[in-house]
């Protein structure tokens, strides 16, 4: 059997979404581990006044590509940026580009999508479903296509508890929905959206499910594979541990917990999260972020009331006081705004942090078993080998280094800042206790009696402790 790099030898690959998180990791790995791949064509739209070529040139200058640059200095020659907006008719491809792609592509990776959970339904349909349809149409015209890989999500069928490796019947026929959305105005669509979503939490998972159905219905004789990643975090080992470049999903939660008293995670799979929580907090206590607002902490709770209590006491009250301080010192208040944004982001994740699923992975197991020893080493997909403590530490350090661009040289100052925050907290707590003491104890006889009782108990305990320790000598 050929190895994976042998399979890619001399092949032309087409990737959509190559400027995104998953796409660029795929591009880097493909070029590094399958160095004899012929060309990687990437469909890229112009953005912020930058042409596709310039965007790709910028992208491959980032840290992710350092190792590849070192191993293969000329790797950029294998990347061809093709101007394309997937939401436009014919993917906005020029006739010339269409001819090139249909004439030479062997493998397609369709990664582009909108991953914003609450994208308006019309927009989510445009990219996640209609663009997929256009890609399938293009694939049908490719003369040498061997396989079409569609990147879906593990949550496409999150309305089920057991998710097997099959395409489930869709919530609605995508063709009917496309027709309906065509004549509806935005207001009507947004009114209708919750009804359409049914058990699904957002338009992202809904449209990803429809895209899977579309692939199944329209792939004809193409060889198609649908892959369903779950929530993707920082890199495990390659090109180096902990690489990540966005705030999405867990990264946002980690950064939030490191910046200040953090978001809540309702009833996550408790044992796993408790252990992850420990690693995140301990890493950030040892390696604090420069912008920390409070000492790193995280609370997991399944109780809505407790959650609301901590949000009020631990997030909103300090944010309000901090903003008051900023206002009084003539600066722009910002913490309440940040906290509100953070909570909104957490609300979006809430569905995923408060449900659990069982995924069947027979195909992945079969794939792992069929891989030769060389491939197993170069394309290790066996996450059972992952050492979680080490992974989490690298992940947290990755968010610090690559997402927040903080240098390790800033650590001593960040640690000093964290100690200052700890002292502020102790001072605040002491003032609070004295304040409560003044109100309750000084004014009520009963409170005073309880207070004296507690103090005398402590005193007795200390005397006993002192006596027993002197007896030993």
Ligand X SMILES: NC(=O)c1ccc[n+]([C@@H]2O[C@H](COP(=O)([O-])OP(=O)(O)OC[C@H]3O[C@@H](n4cnc5c(N)ncnc54)[C@H](OP(=O)(O)O)[C@@H]3O)[C@@H](O)[C@H]2O)c1
How far apart (Å, rounded) are the C-alpha atoms in residues 121 and 130?
12
Residue (51 or 104) nearer to ligand X, CB: 51
Check residue 361 for interaction with ligand X (CB under 6 A): no
Nearer to ligand X, 8 or 155 (CB): 155
Residue 291 Cα distances to 318, 410, 417, angstroms: 16, 11, 9
**Spatial contact of 27 and 18, defined as CB atoms under 8 Å apart:** yes
- Asked if 111 interacts with ligand X (CB under 6 A), we say yes
Provide the minimum distance between the beta carbon of 121 and ligand X in the complex, in angstroms, as a whole number. 16
Residue 214 contacts residue 136 (beta carbons within 8 Å): yes
Tell me which of 8, 12, 14, 20 binds ligand X, using CB under 6 A. 20
Contact stretch for ligand X (CB under 6 A) within 14-22, 398-406, 440-448, 455-463: 14-22
CB of 216 to ligand X, least distance (A): 16
Query: Which positions ≥6 away from 283 have C-beta within 8 Å?
Result: 392, 393, 396, 397
Count of residues near ligand X by CB under 6 A: 25
Give the integer Cα–Cα distance in Å for 61 and 68. Answer: 11
Residues 6+ apart with CB under 8 A from 295: 261, 285, 418, 421, 422, 425
All residues at 6 or more sequence positions from 34 whose CB lies less than 8 Å from its CB, including other chains: 4, 5, 7, 8, 9
Closer Cβ to ligand X, 20 or 318, answer by number:
20
* Under rule CB under 6 A, residue 441 binds ligand X: no
Does position 107 bind ligand X by CB under 6 A? no
Count Cα neighbours of 26 within 13 Å in the Cβ-side half-sphere. Answer: 23
Q: In terms of CB distance, is 50 or 297 closer to ligand X?
A: 50
Q: Least Å distance between CB 358 and ligand X?
A: 17
Nearest-angstrom CA–CA distance, 244 and 400: 10
319 binds ligand X per the rule CB under 6 A: no
22 binds ligand X (CB under 6 A): yes
Task: Check if the beta carbon of residue 257 is closer than 8 Å to that of residue 263.
Answer: yes
Judged by CB under 6 A, the chain residues 133 through 192 that form the site for ligand X are 151, 153
CA nearest 138: which of 183, 94, 91, 72? 91
Binding mask 249-268 for ligand X (x = CB under 6 A): x-------------------
Residue 21 in the binding site for ligand X (CB under 6 A): yes
Q: Any contact of residue 81 with ligand X (CB under 6 A)?
A: no
Between residue 400 and residue 439, which ones bind ligand X under the rule CB under 6 A? none
Q: Considering the rule CB under 6 A, would residue 52 count as an interface residue with ligand X?
A: no
Decide if residue 351 touches ligand X (CB under 6 A). Answer: no
x/- binding map, residues 82-101, to ligand X, per CB under 6 A?
---xxx--------------
Cα separations in angstroms, 416 against 292, 376, 411, 419 = 11, 45, 9, 5
Q: At what angle do helices 250-259 and 388-398 cross, to 10 degrees?
A: 70
Return residues touching ligand X (CB under 6 A). 17, 19-23, 43, 45, 47, 85-87, 111-113, 115, 127, 151, 153, 208, 229, 231-232, 248-249
């Amino acid at each position: 059997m050929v190895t994976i790099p042998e399979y890619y030898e001399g092949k032309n690959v087409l990737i959509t979404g190559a400027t995104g998180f998953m796409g660029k990791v795929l591009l880097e790995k493909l070029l590094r581990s399958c160095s004899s791949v012929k060309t990687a064509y990437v469909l890229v739209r112009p953005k912020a006044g930058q042409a596709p070529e310039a965007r790709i040139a910028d992208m491959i200058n980032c840290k992710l590509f350092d190792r590849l640059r070192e191993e293969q200095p000329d790797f950029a020659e294998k990347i061809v940026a093709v101007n394309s907006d997937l939401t436009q008719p014919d993917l906005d491809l020029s006739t010339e580009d269409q001819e090139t792609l249909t004439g030479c592509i062997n493998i397609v990776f369709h990664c582009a999508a909108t991953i914003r959970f609450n994208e308006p339904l019309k927009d989510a349909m445009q990219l996640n479903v209609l663009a997929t349809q256009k890609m399938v149409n293009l694939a049908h015209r490719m003369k040498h296509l061997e396989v079409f890989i569609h990147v879906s999500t593990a949550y496409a069928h999150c309305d089920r508890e057991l998710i097997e490796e099959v395409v489930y019947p869709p919530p609605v026929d995508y063709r009917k929905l496309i027709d309906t959305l065509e004549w509806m105005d935005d207001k009507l669509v947004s009114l209708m959206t919750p009804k359409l979503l049914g058990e699904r939490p957002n338009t992202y998972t809904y449209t990803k499910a429809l895209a899977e159905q579309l692939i199944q219905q329209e792939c004809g004789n193409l060889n198609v594979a649908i892959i369903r990643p779950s929530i993707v975090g920082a890199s495990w080992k390659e090109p180096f541990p902990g690489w990540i470049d966005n705030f999405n999903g867990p990264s946002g939660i980690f950064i939030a917990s490191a910046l200040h008293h953090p978001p809540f995670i309702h009833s996550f799979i408790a044992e796993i999260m408790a252990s992850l929580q420990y690693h995140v907090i301990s890493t950030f206590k040892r390696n604090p972020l420069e912008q920390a607002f409070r000492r790193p902490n995280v609370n997991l709770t399944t109780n809505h009331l407790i959650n609301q209590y901590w949000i009020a006491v631990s997030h909103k009250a300090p944010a309000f006081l901090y903003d008051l301080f900023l206002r009084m010192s003539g600066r722009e208040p910002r913490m309440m705004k940040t906290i509100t944004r953070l909570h909104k982001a957490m609300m979006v994740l809430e569905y995923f942090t408060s449900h659990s699923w069982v995924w069947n992975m027979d195909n992945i197991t079969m794939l792992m078993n069929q891989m030769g020893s060389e491939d197993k080493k170069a394309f290790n997909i066996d996450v059972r080998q992952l050492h979680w403590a080490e992974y989490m530490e690298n992940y947290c350090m990755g968010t610090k280094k690559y997402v927040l661009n903080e240098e390790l040289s800033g650590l001593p100052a960040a640690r000093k800042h964290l100690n200052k925050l700890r002292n502020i907290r102790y001072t605040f707590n002491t003032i609070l206790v004295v304040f409560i003491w003044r109100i309750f104890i000084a004014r009520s006889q009963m409170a005073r009696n309880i207070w004296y009782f507690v103090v005398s108990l402590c005193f007795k305990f200390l005397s006993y402790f002192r006596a027993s320790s002197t007896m030993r000598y």
